[in-house]
Amino acid sequence: MWSVNLMARIWLSGSLVAMLLVSTGLQAEQARSKSCAVSGNGEIEISNLSGSVEVIGWSREEVAVEATVGEGVKELVVSCQGSRAKVEVLLKEGSSHYKNGAADAHLTIQVPSQSLLSVETVSANIQVSEVTASAEMESVSGNVAFSGSADEVSAESVSGNVEIQGTANQLEAESVSGTVSVAEASGQLSVSSISGTVEVLGGFVTEAEIDSVSGSVTFRAELAANGELEAESHSGSVSIALPASTSAVIKASSFSGGISNDLGSEKADKGSDSRREVEFTLGGGEGRVSVETFSGSISFEDY
């Protein structure tokens, strides 16, 4: 049987090891804070390898960065000169500094709301809000998200998801294999994915191009008078939901997929032997809706 003294020494040793591990973990991550002055409508460039980037627009003519960085981070650069500002994470040399999250940098950045914003990452997630001029966001494997209202929004990720919630005069959202979701949008839209799902949910759209090669495509929103909608998928299904008040000429075709229609007075479920096609008009036919698939099904319904 173990003695009380031996058990006490074991407990003390374990406690010291635990304290050492906690201390080491605390030393591995460092908090950093930097800021600089920039004009209210300047160009802001942000780059980060891994971790996360959150950008929030505010009324000050200042870039303020709060960061938590791993031990593999050499320097957090925050520089401003006139109408330009740059935030960049520099890493130490050597592959060992890239392991176990050592290269991660988690950035929270406040910028003037009227900034022309550009954010690039490799695996870091990107989240932008309250930037009203333009926001360009690119990531290789990180997720990309934008919320608010801006003149121009561009969001791209190779394997991450892209999520937009808000309005923009011009909006582009793309992913190769991730899901692309746009909610409550307005203006001109270009939304696409190669193998991921694509959806536009809510909003008032003047012009939209939506496509996916093998993923499904969903459009459930209002189309402006004289508006145009083009939706395509090779093997994925396409679902279009429009209000009863929509005024547009609607054309749909699929090589081998079925077409179903619950809009207007016409029911469409078959066409020619080699190619299924349907055309009908809602209201005065001012706008245009074109839907195409190769093998995917097409459906129309009320919104």
What is the rounded distance in angstroms from the CA atom of residue 47 to the CA atom of residue 83? 18
Say what the pLDDT of residue 2 is. 36
User: How many Å is the maximal CA-CA distance in the chain?
Assistant: 93
Q: What percent of the chain is modeled with pLDDT above 70?
A: 86
Domain parsing of the chain, residue ranges: 29-137, 143-303
Q: Which residue has the higher pLDDT, 93 or 46?
A: 46
What is the rounded distance in angstroms from the CA atom of residue 294 to the CA atom of residue 276? 10
Residue 124 above 90 pLDDT? yes
Query: Is residue 5 very low, low, confident or very high in pLDDT (cuts 50, 70, 90)?
Result: very low
pTM: 0.87
| pLDDT single digits (tens) 9-65 | 434 444 444 443 444 444 467 999 999 999 999 999 999 999 999 999 999 999 999
Would you say 142 and 161 are in contact if contact means Cβ atoms under 8 Å apart? no
Q: Which two tokens stand for residue 167?
A: 């309005």
Q: How many CA atoms lie within 13 A of 54 on its CB side?
A: 6
Hey, which residues does 168 pair with through a beta bridge? 150
Hey, which residues does 131 pair with through a beta bridge? none
Query: Is residue 208 very low, low, confident or very high in pLDDT (cuts 50, 70, 90)?
Result: very high
